[in-house]
Amino acid sequence: MFRTPVGFACLAALALAFPLTTAVADDAQIARGEYLVTIGGCNDCHTPGYFFGKPDRSRFLGGSDVGFEIPGAGVFVGRNITPDKESGIGNWTQDQIIKAIQTGERPDGRVLAPIMPWHAFAHLTADDARAIAAFLQNVKPVSHEVPGPFKPGEKVSTFVFRILPPGEVAAAAPK
Ligand code: HEC
């Protein structure tokens, strides 16, 4: 079909305009990201309803309805990590998403509470971290403003997981 130099030139131009190999790699990258997000438990802490046994798939990764209390630090709710521009991470670059996942540092400089397992995710390979970010940039945007973080003593508007010191656990145990 492409026996003439013009034919080759057309093929070369097409290859430049539509780099097929990149498109295929992107799909594979996003599929890899989906796999890692699934086994990484992101859904547990970032999708509403999960801790009540009914994760709301229509708001997948749109932010939790439960906060984690870290004694002395406050209460932290799993945030909206969909590409919604107002309430999610839609304005973050892929590198900013990777940085937050692997070092805990958000673009505004705040360091995420360690209940977000970024210390563990720091061990992801560079390719896997990028695949997760690519997948997050391709999920359905969900509009949901997650409350908090709440300072110690501040009134909290969500359910809370609280870590109790041993004495208080004993006192709270059923008799
Ligand atoms: C055990 C619960 C938990 C798991 C599992 C978890 N996260 Fe989080 N994540 C959180 C909490 C809580 C926050 C908010 C912490 C804070 O505000 O300091 C957070 C914050 C984030 C942020 C920053 C968002 C923002 O607006 O600041 C990103 C990005 C993120 N998580 C991605 C992920 C990904 C990707 C996974 C899975 C690979 C994951 N998280 C797994 C609890 C979790």
pLDDT value at residue 5: 55
pLDDT value at residue 2: 47
Residue 152 resides in a domain: yes
Q: Cα 81 from chain centroid? A: 5
CA-based end-to-end distance of the chain: 84
Q: Is the peptide bond before 149 cis (omega within 30 degrees of 0)?
A: yes
pLDDT value at residue 52: 96
pLDDT value at residue 154: 95
Residue 105 resides in a domain: yes
pLDDT value at residue 104: 98
pLDDT value at residue 33: 98
* Residue range(s) defining the domain that contains residue 95: 23-172
Residue 4 resides in a domain: no
pLDDT value at residue 175: 72
Is the CB of residue 132 below 6 angstroms from any atom belonging to ligand 1? yes
pLDDT band at 169 (very low <50, low <70, confident <90, very high): low
- Reply yes or no on whether the pLDDT at 164 is more than 80: no
**Mean pLDDT, the chain, integer:** 88
Neighbours of 148 (CB within 10 A): 16
Residue 3 resides in a domain: no
Residue 5 resides in a domain: no
The count of domains in the chain is 1
Distance CA 81, CA 61 (A): 6
Q: What is the mean pLDDT of residues 34-53?
A: 97
Half-sphere exposure (CA, 13 Å, Cβ side) for 29?
A: 19
Is the CB of residue 81 below 6 angstroms from any atom belonging to ligand 1? yes
Is the CB of residue 113 below 6 angstroms from any atom belonging to ligand 1? yes
Distance CA 99, CA 125 (A): 13
CA angle (38 as vertex; 33, 43 as ends), nearest 5: 115
Q: Express each pLDDT in 120-155 by its tens digit.
A: 999 999 999 999 999 999 999 999 999 999 999 999
Residue 2 resides in a domain: no
Q: Determine the distance separating the centroid of ligand 1 and the alpha carbon of 77, expressed in angstroms.
A: 8
Residue 38 resides in a domain: yes
Q: Are 75 and 67 in contact (CB under 8 A)?
A: yes
Q: Determine the distance separating the centroid of ligand 1 and the alpha carbon of 148, expressed in angstroms.
A: 13
Q: Determine the distance separating the centroid of ligand 1 and the alpha carbon of 78, expressed in angstroms.
A: 5
Distance CA 88, CA 139 (A): 11
Q: Are 130 and 94 in contact (CB under 8 A)?
A: yes
